[in-house]
Every structure is written in C-alpha cells, then in structure tokens.
Amino acid sequence: MHDWALDEEGTDAVIAHALDLDIIFFDTANGYSAGTSEAYLGKALRKHASRDRAVMACAVYVTKGDLSSKAIHREIDGMLRRLATDYLDLYIIHRFDYGTPIEETMEALNELVKAGKVRALGASVMYATSFRTCRKSPRTTVGTL
C-alpha cells in the first residue's frame, strides 16, 4: 500500500528479530495497509512465539463509518481473524466519534471485554475530557467540547 510498508517476508524478519531482542509489544490497526499489517503480524507471531509471549494492540479507526456497536463488533472480529488470535491485549479507539452516543460506544467496548475478546481498552488522538464533558449540539448525538 505504501512504498515504506514491509511485505510478508520483511515483516517476518523484523518480528523474529524484535522477539530475539525481547521486544514483545506490537501495535497495528485495521487501517494499516488495508489489513495486511494485521495478517502479516499475526502470521509472524504464530511462527516465532507463543501467544502469551506477545502483547498485541490494535487501533480501530473510524474506517467504515463510526464507532457504533455494530462497527466496533465488526472491526474486532476482522482484526482477530486477520491476527489469528482469540483476543487482543489492548483495543484502542483511534478517534472520538461525535456522531455515535458515547454510551453506545462504551457499552460495545465493555461487551468485548466481557466476551474475552479484549483484555484492556484505550483511546488515542482525542481529549480525555471528551468522555465526560460532552454537551449537546444540534449537529451531533453526543455533542461537542
């Protein structure tokens, strides 16, 4: 997808070397190289390490619309399939979605933890106060800061 992105063979070599150096935290996302980042990472980790030796984090971008419950569940299932694992150590929402009620997003994330698909949750590229200081706005369900 990008000139600087590694192919499957290159990814395998980098992951093997990282594990040899005791690097165990790997972060990817559903939007990186159209999902091949997850597929290549999952394959390399299966080849070179037991699942409990690696910490896998994935950021879910608002790639297919929003952070609705439906989108969150669809994206985690795709990530787990591409990574060939039953769970993520860390699932990160990568933008605040002002168009979906925060309660819906948070309930969907909680369901993933309860189901064992995700061990921990995170958020990036947003203000932490977004989760507590939203006020109603005529243009969105949740509001603006």
- Helices assigned H by DSSP within 21-55: 36-48
Asked if the structure places residue 39 within a domain, the reply is: yes
Asked if the structure places residue 1 within a domain, the reply is: no
Q: Residue 60 has what pLDDT?
A: 84
Asked if the structure places residue 117 within a domain, the reply is: yes
What CATH number should be reported for the domain holding residue 94?
3.20.20.100
Please check the confidence at residue 113 and state whether its pLDDT lies above 60.
yes
DSSP string, 9-26: HHHHHHHHHHHHTT--EE
Q: How many domains does the chain have?
A: 1
* Residue 34 Cα distances to 2, 38, 47, angstroms: 10, 9, 22
Is the model's pTM score more than 0.75?
Answer: yes
Asked if the structure places residue 2 within a domain, the reply is: no
The per-residue pLDDT for range 33-48, each reduced to its tens digit, is 777 889 999 999 999 9
Torsion angle defined by CA atoms of residues 29, 31, 33 and 38, in that order, rounded to the nearest 10 degrees: 30
The per-residue pLDDT for range 4-14, each reduced to its tens digit, is 678 999 999 99
The per-residue pLDDT for range 63-81, each reduced to its tens digit, is 566 899 999 999 999 999 9
Please check the confidence at residue 21 and state whether its pLDDT lies above 60.
yes
Q: Domain span at residue 97?
A: 8-144
What are the residue numbers of the active site? 32
Distance CA 10, CA 107 (A): 38
